[in-house]
Structure 1
């Protein structure tokens, strides 16, 4: 449940180097043989000279890199579990992981026999992200709490979720999405060159940290220009001047500026970390700081309008960006200032406002669910429909042309004309030559890629994918075999693979992996499947588990491809990243399960500190789609809200599709409310949303009003988030020792 899985760069994404139109081959007659031509590539366009040093080729995968990545990932895992149980927010934190890894090895550089390289930095970030995102990927901030704490006896409670069962569950779910994502790399990164803005931004940061080398002179000039422009977004003004200066005497000054800049970034990260950590420790002894009644005691105690001035939530708002946080604020106003009083005063939610079952807090969740489902169905539907609209006519013309020029059925089915990769020009469309019949433009060879020994072989994927799917089936059956039949278990995995393709494409194009929408879509599909026999009373559990499997697959596939995009631009080994992701995922499965059990054993869940709103969203969705009754008037308001956000989502899609052509579309798009962000603002209490909105204002002031680069505020935000996340471990120890509050 993370509307902000991508960076806030998504509002104005950093684009990778433009994809030059692939060389085309025209056929004047069906007998003419195509000539092969290789398209130029963005591979290693941000690489430093050391990346191509054969002596350093072994740094693509090192035990020291894996170890540091795991250590950073464990910190992120604690942080994500803490914030996930509070509000459902989880972040991979790729850029701060890269920066921290760089700082660690820079500090150890006098003792290193082999220097720390950009490709090793990519490995550190990949492993750290794999470990850190497991709380979301394995359902430890949503599905597991809903099964353990919110399930009714009539729905199958109680369920044994002992630590060993969570270990088995985690091992089963943590691998198949990673393996499935690898064969998608050639299509979405090499051929289509989808943007993956966060992956591109991470590559740019690593490039700058290691010297910011320009692309090879042999590459296309357009790639050089675009790469330089993008890199400038991450550099200070004086660094830009140094980079543009071609005088040899200034190269040492430029290197000194770069070293000074990364030291400033590390200093900023450290100060933000320490400040946020100190505040978190202080907040333990003064719990009143979690809910400051800034609007007066009446609004605070009766309607839950308080402020949690947590630096971490301000940091989250900075990363989300102004548009997302303002949409969340709109959701808070609609939910907590309008709908909540209406439901309370009309007797539709007679309990306390803060009660999930009988209060307006639970009533407005149904409205937020309708908004989320509307957003998910429209966006995912467009992902399926868009290729047919854009490229359907070209595909039809190509197939018809191939049919007319085929001399036999074998030529039609196995002919050489379609043996290559059909590269449709996404910018200009298909234009036949005058005076000739319609002919396809084909690129026989894929664009440049990593050396073959750095690629994951098709044989490896063919072996590992079935094995990881079988492992997932067995582990889910061992853990929940008493509740979900094995055939539905297999169906959930297959559906997860299909939907993960949609998630990957959305992530590559928009920097947002719609795992929330994918899981809700899976829950809708499984609502149509009525379990029978001994599983007849387990519809809610089956629905939750199916959604968890689809979320895991989509998240892992998206994460590995986001990391592979960064590695592709740096020139790292995809095979090394793949192994690093597998190792990180396995470690993350054990760590995240242990951290989850640690938190629920010390704190009351759900409780004042950990309200597990995402778990309530999961269980309410399962009950909704399986036909359980809604509170009075909830379905009428939910239906109206869903209809409204179907229209707004369609309008957002239209604006996004035309923003490159129209300045008006580009300007207005960020301010049309997004369904997921509005829904999150509705089901989270205002105390969190107000703090995030403050962070959005900081981002707006720094980036848009002052016109400064985003790197500084991203580093600041990362320090604020990690500071509270890490010191929350200290608070966890204090709580377990029953240290009293003041």
Structure 2
């Protein structure tokens, strides 16, 4: 037999003989190696156990993955339709007020889980439940809802589409012929969106394996949503999700009732809590006030601190410093007889300096993404190892190789199982493109068939660049591509042939293509991580897009008919980006001759400033970049004012204090609280619009007057009595 050090011994040896020093050393070394081997085995077992705990797919190993047809359930489509209406109303309200739209993917996944879970519980108790609720079905709902409310943004109801209207054209103070305006009508809006919204879905379908598996693009929002859905459907996750939904429900009801309460005091212009001069009457004149909006408090809780601070800094710089100083130049830089809303006066500085900052920021990020995308694509194409990760992907997964290989093996297997034939993608693209080329010119005669053909020729390349850049940075540049189309096609058509409207329509075509393409790839990433079938993902995206093409225009039409001052500066729904986009189109065809004095010089300064700030952010690195403001966020209040920035910073302050008092709870429930605030206030807009259409007026007008004005009002009332 063998002893601990591996030497052979015999039972008959004298027990009294002592070991030599060498044999003792050998014995100790053997024991040490044995203990080391034991510890190594123990550590390996512990690591394996830890890997099993960290591995998402090991948690779901015993659960059946339903085929793609079972993922597309009737209940999923019903819930998706209801949630699509709700989120389209929310996005439309944000579109028509500030244009800042936070990611609502988490809210869509959370509410989808809640509604279907409630549905299945009721059926389970009645004994009618046939199929359990799976994470794949949850992913289908989230995909469908995001596709639908995405149309409320890319449809341009707060930007290029509403910019075509005569209501926006009147604000531009330019001569507008009939060929440069097109007022909203439900029929042509729905038709236009159906023609241009689907082609982006077909453009990148053949590249889904390359983008998700070969390139291993991270798509941070899609990855975060997938982790959320995976977490919901584990036993611990379901328990947490129930608490989150309960919290969301409380704040949803509270926000809805708060909106209802405020409505009673808005019987007139500048009435109610939205006109409360919280920082004083003089500050109120410069749009510095807290308007008690639950929506923007919630948006502030979702948006990063830097975004909210940047918006506030932009408001202080413009409305606190620049506009008062330029206003003092009235009569010198521009005519004193002009009203504040005239583009040849103070309004021109507000609008065009804002445009300059937006274009500077967009151009810098566009070039930045391209400089990362093109070398990475070339490098990857030249590499023999097609499975290698591109150098610019941000993969923060700290799991072990064994766990990665297991999860990825499972995910790749199912992701490649239900192939979408390339023939379907190519034929679909050509068919939709042919219909669009033949039909869009009938809606917009200023755009000829060859303009649309050129757009669709280059669209797949631009869609790929946008989807790739979104996968790297989580930043979609759809609006930047749209602005580029405004200038290119506006100049091509010319002012004499309706170049303004042609540029805006071309913006819509381009923006819908690149936006839907990146959204689809983002959802493919979510489906990859939740084992949802690519076929069910693609079909749910198509269904959601079709829903959005109907729901979006209908919701906008409700706003348009209910609020007669929609799009008017200073109103409840000023639609600030509509005027910005229209003036971009005018600038593209008419040049800079109509700008007020020194406006162009200031535009150059702020255009260059936006580029330099972005460059500085990249040079100093992530450690210091979080202290440097974002030019795009700063540009928004230049035109609109800083009142919503105060609401958003209030949301940031609430979150900051909450994180200091109880960070774990804040991390778990902050998004639910914010979603409740946004959803409740957003849904109140629906009954508010119905009341306005029915001509039901609020009973009370709450106004705030200075002491001097109040004395004059009292004196006037006394004369009447």
TM-score, structure 2 as length reference: 0.78
Q: Contact (CA 8 Å) 2:180, 2:500: kept in 1 or not?
A: no
Of 123, 129, 136 in structure 2, the residue corresponding to residue 119 of structure 1 is 136
Indicate conservation of the 8 Å contact 1:46/1:203, yes or no.
no
Indicate how the Cα distance of structure 1 residues 378 and 623 shifts in structure 2: closer, same or farther if over 3 A, else same. same
What does 1:243-392 correspond to in 2, within 5 Å?
255=235, 257-287=236-266, 288-301=272-285, 303-347=286-330, 348=333, 350=336, 355=341, 357=343, 360-387=346-373
Question: Which residue is 1:560 aligned to?
Answer: 520
- What is the Cα deviation at residue 316 of structure 1? 0.9
Equivalent-residue separation in structure 2 for 1:115 and 1:282 (angstroms): 41
* Deviation readout 1:518-553 (Å, 9 max, x if unpaired): 22222233354244xxx8331111111111222111
**CA gap 1:390/1:136 in 2 versus in 1, 3 angstroms:** closer
Deviation digits for residues 344-364 of structure 1, max 9, x if unmatched?
Answer: 111246478862535534422
Pair 1:544-2:504 in alignment: yes
Hey, what's the Cα distance between the residues in 2 that align with 1:704 and 1:136? Answer: 35
Moved more, 345-354 or 518-527: 345-354
Matched, 1:136 2:153: yes
In 2, Cα distance between equivalents of 1:395 and 1:199:
23
Return the offset for 1:589.
Answer: 0.4
Cα offsets for 1:159-218 (capped at 9, x unmatched): 25322111111111221112223233222221222221111111111111100xxxxxxx
How far is the alpha carbon of 1:85 from its aligned partner? 1.1
Q: 1:184 to 1:495 in 2, by over 3 A?
A: same
* Distance change (3 Å), C-alpha of 1:352 and 1:693: farther
Number of the residue aligned with 2:168: 150
Distance, in Å, in 2 between the alignment partners of 1:713 and 1:382 is 33
Contact 2:88/2:148, CA 8 A, preserved across alignment:
yes
Aligned in 2, Cα 1:395/1:593: closer, same or farther, shift over 3 Å?
closer
Residue 419 of structure 2 corresponds to residue 455 of structure 1? yes
Q: Name the SS for the 2:164 alignment partner.
A: helix
Question: Closer, same or farther in 2 for the Cα pair 1:46/1:170, shift >3 Å?
Answer: farther
Q: Residue in 2 aligned with 1:720?
A: 677
The residue number in structure 1 matching 2:567 is 606
Task: Tell me the equivalent position of 1:515.
Answer: 478
- Does structure 1 conserve the Cα–Cα contact (< 8 Å) formed by 2:419 and 2:534? yes
Name stretches of at least 5 consecutive residues in structure 2 with no aligned partner. 1-54, 124-128, 170-174, 267-271, 394-408, 701-721
For residues 607 and 99 of structure 2, the distance between their equivalents in structure 1, rounded to whole angstroms, comes to: 22
Residue 479 in structure 1 maps to residue 497 in structure 2: no
- 1:556/1:91 CA distance change after superposition, 3 Å: farther
Aligned-partner Cα distance in 1 for 2:644–2:513: 29
Matches of 1:542 and 1:691 in 2, distance apart? 37
**1:40 paired residue number:** none
Do 2:219 and 2:472's aligned partners in 1 also have CA atoms closer than 8 Å?
yes
Indicate conservation of the 8 Å contact 1:109/1:115, yes or no. Answer: yes
Structure 1's 642 and 198: CA in aligned 2 closer, same or farther, altered over 3 A? same
CA distance in structure 2 between the partners assigned to 1:704 and 1:648 by the alignment: 30
- Mapped partners of 1:698, 1:546: distance in 2: 42
> What's 1:618 paired with?
581
Does the 8 Å contact 1:364/1:682 carry over to 2?
Answer: yes
| Match in the other structure for 2:397 | none
How far 1:638 sits from its partner (Å)? 0.8
Residue 223 of structure 1 is matched in structure 2 by: none
Find the counterpart in structure 1 of residue 626 from structure 2: 670
Given the superposition, is the C-alpha separation of residues 353 and 201 from structure 1 closer, same or farther in structure 2, using an over 3 Å criterion?
farther
2:391 is the alignment partner of 1:426? yes
Quote the Cα distance in structure 1 between the aligned partners of 2:504 and 2:62: 45
Shift of 1:387: 4.2
Paired position in structure 1 for 2:534: 574
Q: Please give the per-residue CA displacement for 1:285-343, whole angstroms capped at 9, x wherever unaligned.
A: 22321122122112313x23232220110111111120111111111111111221122
1:235-262 superposed Cα distances (whole Å, 9 cap, x missing partner):
xxxxxxxxxxxxxxxxxxxx3x544322
What is the CA distance between 1:109 and its match in structure 2? 1.8
Query: Aligned residue for 1:64?
Result: 75
Deviating more after overlay: 153-162 vs 566-575:
153-162
> Post-superposition shift, 1:365?
1.8
Is the contact between residue 351 and residue 360 of structure 1 (CA under 8 Å) also seen in structure 2? no
Q: CA RMSD in A?
A: 2.8
Q: Distance in 1 between matches of 2:112 and 2:390?
A: 39
Change (3 A) 1:161 1:207: same
Matches within 5 A, 1:16-31: none
Q: Deviations over 1:656-698 (max 9, x none)?
A: xxxxxxxxx2221122222211111322221112111222233
Q: Is the 8 A contact 2:411 2:529 kept in 1?
A: no
In structure 2, what is the Cα distance between the partners aligned to 1:47 and 1:356? 64
SS of the residue corresponding to residue 133 of structure 1 reads helix
1:567-623 C-alpha deviation (Å, 9 max, x unpaired) = 110110011010011011111101111111121111122231110101011111112
- Aligned pairs, number: 605
Match of residue 470 from structure 1: 434
Contact 1:373 1:521 in 2 (8 A): no
SS of alignment partner, residue 500 of structure 2: helix
The answer on whether the counterparts of 1:51 and 1:57 sit within 8 Å (CA) in structure 2 is no
Q: Secondary structure at the match of 2:497?
A: coil
1:424–1:194 CA distance, 2 compared to 1 (3 A): closer
Residue number in structure 1 paired with 2:653: 697
Which of 624, 640, 645 is 1:684 aligned to?
640
Distance in 1 between residues matched to 2:62 and 2:138, nearest whole Å: 11
Corresponding position of 2:704: none
Task: Name the SS for the 1:450 alignment partner.
Answer: helix
**CA deviations over 1:94-117 (Å, ceiling 9, x no partner):** 111111111112112231210000
C-alpha distance in 1 between matches for 2:452 and 2:617: 35
**Measured at CA, do residues 518 and 47 of structure 1 come closer, stay the same or move farther in structure 2, by a change above 3 Å?**
farther
TM-score (norm 1): 0.76
Contact 1:312 1:721 in 2 (8 A): yes
For 2:75 and 2:61, how far apart are their aligned partners in 1?
18
Residues 1:77 and 2:37 are matched in the alignment: no
The aligned runs of 1:632-647 (5 Å cut-off) are 632-647=597-612
Please state if 1:183 is matched with 2:201: no
Quote the offset at 1:157 in angstroms: 4.4
Q: Identify if the C-alpha distance between structure 1 residues 116 and 461 changes in structure 2 by more than 3 Å, giving closer, same or farther.
A: same
Aligned partner of 2:707 in structure 1 is: none
